[in-house]
Copies of this chain bind each other. A is one copy, B any other.
Amino acid sequence: MAGLTDRRTARTQKALHGALMSLILRKGYEAITVQDIIDEADVGRSTFYAHYTGKEDLLRSGFRALRMELAEAQDAAGATSDGSRGEPLGFSLAMFDHAGEYKHIYRALVGERGAVVAVNEIRRILSEIVRKELSGAQGDEAVPGEVRNQFVVGTFVTVLTWWLERRPKLAPSQVDTIFRRLVLNGIGPSRCDTSHQE
């Protein structure tokens, strides 16, 4: 009924996605050519272009699953009620968990030799989520909402990248703590607790 019928297309698309993932792990996204992908997937050239406009399109299509998974996680976490009352930044731990699970892929996508396309896609997904969570709570009026949003997303990507490249042994929860610390408090002098100064 729906569009998911024909087994042939499903098989082809699965093969192409698998090939892309293997290749990303093997040689990094940027270095991959369409030729590599169809060789690895053992699929005809014209077949590839019948499904996707290029490797970027193929990669992007892989993010739909992530988008949905995160949307559900957010709904589940924020199911407390209407707004964003459960936790300040409820999305972050779920996201770090997800990244921890597919650590190899994330590292290959997010690092220096990673895929800008992928990072942008992640940014876009996170922007939506953060916008919802931040819509209620209004903090500093000296800092416009848009830039606050971008700040949260940017910090997340920063911490994510640092984690995967420099401290892959850390647990998602530990990374999440660092993230929240930075986003909520910055790096300013300690904080309110009036610690001893001189």
How far is B43's CA from A21's CA once the two chains are assembled, in angstroms? 42
The secondary-structure label for the interface of chain A is: helix
B139 close to A182 (CB less than 8 A): no
Q: Which of A46-54, A59-67, A95-103, A142-150 sits within the interface?
A: A142-150
Which residues of chain B are within 8 angstroms of A120 by Cβ–Cβ distance? Answer: 112
A177 close to B146 (CB less than 8 A): no
Which residues of chain B are within 8 angstroms of A158 by Cβ–Cβ distance? Answer: 147, 150-151, 154
B147 close to A178 (CB less than 8 A): yes
Which residues of chain B are within 8 angstroms of A171 by Cβ–Cβ distance? Answer: none
Which residues of chain B are within 8 angstroms of A140 by Cβ–Cβ distance? Answer: 181, 185, 187, 190
- Please report which residues of chain A, range 73-124, place their CB below 8 angstroms from some CB of chain B when the two chains form the complex: 112, 116, 120
B181 close to A184 (CB less than 8 A): no
A183 close to B181 (CB less than 8 A): no
By Cβ-Cβ distance, the 3 closest A-B pairs, closest first, are A192-B192, A184-B188, A186-B186
A-B contact pairs, 8 of them (CB 8 A): A139-B187, A143-B181, A147-B162, A147-B182, A150-B161, A151-B159, A151-B182, A192-B192
Identify 7 new A-B residue pairs, CB closer than 8 A, beyond the known A140-B187, A143-B181, A183-B188. A112-B120, A139-B190, A140-B181, A142-B177, A150-B158, A150-B161, A185-B186
